[in-house]
Amino acid sequence: MLQIKNLSKTYPNGVQALRDVSLDISNGMFGLLGPNGAGKSTLMRTIATLQDADSGSIMFGGIDVMKQKHELRKVLGYLPQEFGVYPKVSAEEMLHYIARLKGIDNAKERKELVTALLQQVNLYNHKSKFLGGYSGGMKQRFGIAQALIGNPKLIIVDEPTAGLDPAERLRFNNLLSEIGENIIVILSTHIVDDVSELCNDMAIIANGQVVQRGNPESLIAAVQNKIWSRRIKKADVTAYQEKYKVILSKLSGGDVMIHIFSEENPGDGFAMERAGLEDIYFANIA
């Protein structure tokens, strides 16, 4: 169990990135959903011991993360948002190097581990290729391979599918799903579909605060039959925002499709819309 209690962080420029954040996270895939600048990366970096919070606590099992950073790092796998690679080094060589850094000194054991990891992330046939020649999706899968060295009990992946094409995104999400069966995997992202497809538990963070928490299906069920949509002219958007609780608006064929939240049928040309996690997300970050 990862227990985050009353975590706050303000940067020297005055930006308050985290405001009294508390979360209990157990085994499985946990989605942390929020817009850019919401505080997701700050929270991930703090859990990963890469920066300190101003106040609050983080416990992972019996490890006090704020005071026992080295102990947490022994059981942590981390794939940051900006993951650089040495362009003139092969995937196999780099994994051997990282394994040695993590204390795996036995050459036979290390070779077996590296081979297994390359096969797990479907990069074995590209093991001798320089990392600089990898596609974005291949680099992300390599990033997961290095994060898995040392049998981590907690894995953090920060915006892992941003910029990936649909095929690579699917491969990466399938890999995450396999990994997240028996350990804690925290997926930090602004991509709603990734959380909807992968996670049994999630939180939405906005302006440094947790604004929604729960099982995605349960959150959606709670607003089912309360989301209504209709197509309007762009010039009318402001008038509808003043009259209704508009949670989502998107261009559609030159007009604007809006979703509103209403306990009752609002009439006025609205039709009931099947609710989705996207509606929950925009309702909470507006």
- Within 8 A by CB and 6+ apart from 229, the residues are 257, 258, 259, 260, 270, 271, 273
Question: Are residue 148 and residue 188 in the same domain, yes or no?
Answer: yes
- Within 8 A by CB and 6+ apart from 271, the residues are 228, 229, 230
Examine residue 220 and state whether it is found in any structural domain, yes or no.
no
**Predicted confidence pLDDT, tens digits, the chain (286 residues):** 999 999 999 999 999 999 999 999 999 999 999 888 899 989 999 999 999 999 999 999 999 999 999 999 989 999 887 777 788 999 999 999 999 988 899 999 999 999 999 998 889 999 999 999 998 888 888 988 998 898 899 999 988 887 778 888 888 888 888 888 789 999 998 889 889 888 999 999 999 999 999 999 999 999 999 999 999 999 999 999 999 999 999 998 889 999 999 999 999 999 999 999 999 998 888 6
Examine residue 40 and state whether it is found in any structural domain, yes or no.
yes
Q: What is the CATH number of the domain that holds 46?
A: 3.40.50.300
Question: Which domain, by its residues, includes 249?
Answer: 225-285
Question: Are residue 205 and residue 234 in the same domain, yes or no?
Answer: no
What total of structural domains would you count in the chain? 2
Q: Distance of alpha carbon 16 from its chain centroid, rounded?
A: 20
Examine residue 67 and state whether it is found in any structural domain, yes or no.
yes
Examine residue 219 and state whether it is found in any structural domain, yes or no.
no
Question: Nearest CA to 149 among 196, 194, 101?
Answer: 101
For residue range 17-54, what is the model confidence (pLDDT) as tens digits? 999 999 999 999 999 998 888 999 899 999 999 999 99
Question: Are residue 148 and residue 76 in the same domain, yes or no?
Answer: yes
Examine residue 79 and state whether it is found in any structural domain, yes or no.
yes
Cα 193–85–130 angle (5° rounding)?
Answer: 105
pLDDT for the residue 174: 85
Question: Are residue 183 and residue 139 in the same domain, yes or no?
Answer: yes
CB of 65 within 8 A of CB of 25?
Answer: no
Question: Are residue 229 and residue 184 in the same domain, yes or no?
Answer: no
pLDDT for the residue 255: 92
Question: Nearest CA to 189 among 200, 180, 202?
Answer: 202
pLDDT for the residue 286: 67
Question: Nearest CA to 19 among 47, 45, 39, 48?
Answer: 39
Q: Please list the alpha-helical segments (H only) found in the chain.
A: 40-47, 69-74, 91-101, 107-120, 136-147, 166-179, 192-198, 216-223, 237-243, 277-285
Examine residue 78 and state whether it is found in any structural domain, yes or no.
yes
Q: What is the pTM (predicted TM-score) of this model?
A: 0.86
Given the structure tokens 């509808």, which residue do they identify? 240
Question: Are residue 75 and residue 32 in the same domain, yes or no?
Answer: yes
